[in-house]
Amino acid sequence: MCGIVALIGSREAAPQLLDGLRQLEYRGYDSAGIATVEGGRLHCLKAEGKLVNLSARYEQHGAPGQCGIGHTRWATHGKPEERNAHPHLDGSGELAVVQNGIIENHRTLRESLQAEGVTFLSDTDTEVIPHLIALELKARSDAGEAASANLLLAAVQAVLPQLHGAYALAVVWARCPGALVVARHQAPLLIGLGEGEFLCASDTPALAGFTRTILPMEDGEVALLTPLGIELYDSAGQRVQRTPTLLTGTEHVADKRSFRHFMLKEIHEQPETAALWVARHLPEGALVALPLDESVYTGVERIQILACGTSRHAAQVGAYLLEQLAGIPTSVFYASEFRYAPPPLTPHMLTIGVTQSGETADTLAALAMEQERRQSLEDPAYAPRLLGITNRPESSLGRLVGHLLDIGAGIEVGVAATKTFLGQLLAFYGLALAFAERRQGQDGPGASSGRSIAELQALASQLRQLPGLLQALVHDHDQRCAELAHLFADTQDVIFLGRGINYPIAMEGALKLKEISYIHAEGYPAGEMKHGPIALLDARVPVVSIAVPGTVFDKVLSNAQEAKARDAQLIGVAPACPDTTLFDVLLPLPETDELLSPLLTVIPMQLLSYHIAAHRGLDVDQPRNLAKSVTVE
Ligand code: AGP
């Protein structure tokens, strides 16, 4: 995923562009660049690495002009080197383009441009775009058209149908300093309306400090921005009129407060995330109150959940709850796999897409495919019924699905998802309770699993206690995990074990550790270790064992014993356990219902990963090779 910004107005563009890029840096941070237009010239600055390098270049060289574009990159095509950084220019150096997405047919386009004598300076897919627009401009100029904003717009509109893939892009042209053209096709792009100026960006944090009035672009739309106004066109070239909307709340502004990293701040915000969820959806006197239409629930016989990474781990906990609490057969798929090997269609299916960003291309593509194949059957029993669970209701997911559950966790900047994971878990608790309530007394497929209303109510009232439990847990484990981190100074491999509802939490613990500390880690179902992976264990491989009283407690403790017998250093995430000598280190948990335990066991996972990475001096919020959400397949 990359971030793009573009500005046109009456003040120097570069400082605002850099400011916008700073807010978008979580989207990609291996190189950055800006291009501004003034005096019939393009002023382009690029730098490899973080944005500070680009800012230093700007301090040194400047970039004059009141119109410009900027980009922060997460490499897809071409290494993270300066020559592959955006903006990319045409051969004359007069036209510049930034793009977020992937141009899938770039090889074919590149070959035909090369056949016409065009020289490429980068390995990127994006570079075909300025060359194609330049050729279009030349053809039109040769036919007598004068340089103008409308000419630039027409050239971009003529080129877009040649591009296959998902993209958002912005274009400036030295010959027309008063015009900026932007386009969106399956990658996010929003226009912010200031006073006599317009700022476009991939995401709201870049806009929030500039304006609260925004116009999210729709797929296929192209906009011509001048200091005087916006002209919006659909993919057929027809003018579109749409009323801007208002960004509300403070959740769009990224602020680290006094924390060392955004990730730590976001871990500490989880009691608040839970408190907000409880206040909104678990009112006293009702079991659960979700803002969903009854048609989400009616007649559902099966559920399938599509997601990636951490969101998929939340989905796995969700599937456990939906099956155990509501008795609905539920499958979880990697969204990136689903699209290419979808299961046979079955009737009365609810499809849930889980994505905190609402922009993950794999998840969106899988959902869109499912929607299409169900629509094509024209059979009401197979009709698409799509529910999205997200932290960004204004995202592409929000526009794709018919029903949406907003987890309301506020902006999450750290690349490693923490509070949004908790929010997703809570959404699934709410959903499972809501289904279970509606299925009371039903027989046949999809019948209630037999949990009585009283049992469901007991769970709901324990959920209401969650914010307080989390507050204490985050506070205590922050200190404990900070003290433990030095034990992992030379560690190269860690195994996380869990069973039942805590198996996904073991996988989440391993993913967190991998992505921010670069330590190899595996999350494994504890009972499976003896079937192979136990061969990995020795005194150099710590094992984190999640052991919660309930259906598999004794089994997990035996599995932990097996690891200890192979000299593994054992870290227990457990309430005080019967065998006090079992664990070398205990990260204690309060007593809780096993079904609710993932909401607690995940906290030591997050804090352990955080402190190990911070202890190693790593860039916790922007780990190498990653981006906050991945908008390419
Ligand atoms: C989470 O820590 C990861 N950065 C990553 O696995 C993430 O969960 C995944 O890319 C899906 O993102 P989404 O929730 O925005 O769809």
For 126-172, write each residue's pLDDT tens digit: 999 999 999 999 999 999 999 999 999 999 999 999 999 889 999 99
CA 444/CA 448 separation, integer angstroms: 9
Q: Is 357 in the pocket of ligand 1 (CB under 6 A)?
A: yes
Ligand 1 pocket check: which of 620, 629, 631, 632 to mutate, most ligand atoms within 8 Å of Cβ? 629
Q: Report whether pLDDT(255) > 90.
A: no
Confidence of residue 489 (pLDDT cuts 50, 70, 90): confident
Strand order in the sheet with 95-103: 88-89, 95-103, 165-173, 180-185, 222-226, 229-233, 239-240
pLDDT confidence of residue 359: 87
Q: Is 390 in the pocket of ligand 1 (CB under 6 A)?
A: no
Q: Report whether pLDDT(1) > 80.
A: no
Q: Is 363 in the pocket of ligand 1 (CB under 6 A)?
A: yes
Nearest CA among 502, 476, 455, 481 for reference residue 597: 502
Highest mean pLDDT among 180-194, 247-261, 433-447, 617-631: 180-194
The token pair that represents 169 in the structure block: 């892009």
Instruction: State whether the Cα torsion 442-445-446-451 is positive or negative.
Output: positive
Distance 157 CA to ligand 1 centre (A): 33
Confidence of residue 396 (pLDDT cuts 50, 70, 90): confident
Just list the catalytic residues.
2, 628
Render pLDDT for 470-479 as a digit per residue (tens, 0 to 9): 999 999 999 9
Compute the average pLDDT of residues 25-35: 88
pLDDT confidence of residue 251: 55
CA 135/CA 126 separation, integer angstroms: 15
Q: Is 356 in the pocket of ligand 1 (CB under 6 A)?
A: yes
Q: Is 230 in the pocket of ligand 1 (CB under 6 A)?
A: no
Nearest CA among 191, 28, 200, 185 for reference residue 102: 185
Q: Report whether pLDDT(444) > 70.
A: no
CA 384/CA 382 separation, integer angstroms: 6
Distance 531 CA to ligand 1 centre (A): 30
Q: Is 365 in the pocket of ligand 1 (CB under 6 A)?
A: no
pLDDT confidence of residue 293: 96
List of E strands, 203-288: 213-216, 222-226, 229-233, 239-240, 245-246
Q: Is 448 in the pocket of ligand 1 (CB under 6 A)?
A: no
pLDDT confidence of residue 337: 96
Compute the average pLDDT of residues 12-21: 95
Residue 368 φ then ψ, to 5° = -65, -40
3-class SS of residue 443: coil
Q: Which atom of ligand 1 is nearest to the CA of 415?
A: 4
| Nearest protein Cα to ligand 1, atom 5 | 309
Distance 355 CA to ligand 1 centre (A): 7
DSSP letter at 527 equals G
CA 592/CA 595 separation, integer angstroms: 8
pLDDT confidence of residue 62: 95
CA 106/CA 103 separation, integer angstroms: 5
pLDDT confidence of residue 195: 86
pLDDT confidence of residue 446: 46
Distance 518 CA to ligand 1 centre (A): 16
Q: Which atom of ligand 1 is nearest to the CA of 420?
A: 14
Q: Which atom of ligand 1 is nearest to the CA of 418?
A: 2
Q: Is 324 in the pocket of ligand 1 (CB under 6 A)?
A: no
Q: Lowest mean pLDDT: which of 363-367, 417-421, 567-571?
A: 567-571
pLDDT confidence of residue 186: 81
Distance 365 CA to ligand 1 centre (A): 15
Q: Is 513 in the pocket of ligand 1 (CB under 6 A)?
A: no
pLDDT confidence of residue 191: 96
Residue 450 Cα distances to 74, 311, 441, 561, 623, angstroms: 49, 28, 8, 35, 45
pLDDT confidence of residue 250: 53
Q: Report whether pLDDT(443) > 60.
A: no
Compute the average pLDDT of residues 350-366: 94
How much is the mean pLDDT over the chain?
92
- C-beta separation of 435 from 328 below 8 A: yes
Distance 626 CA to ligand 1 centre (A): 10
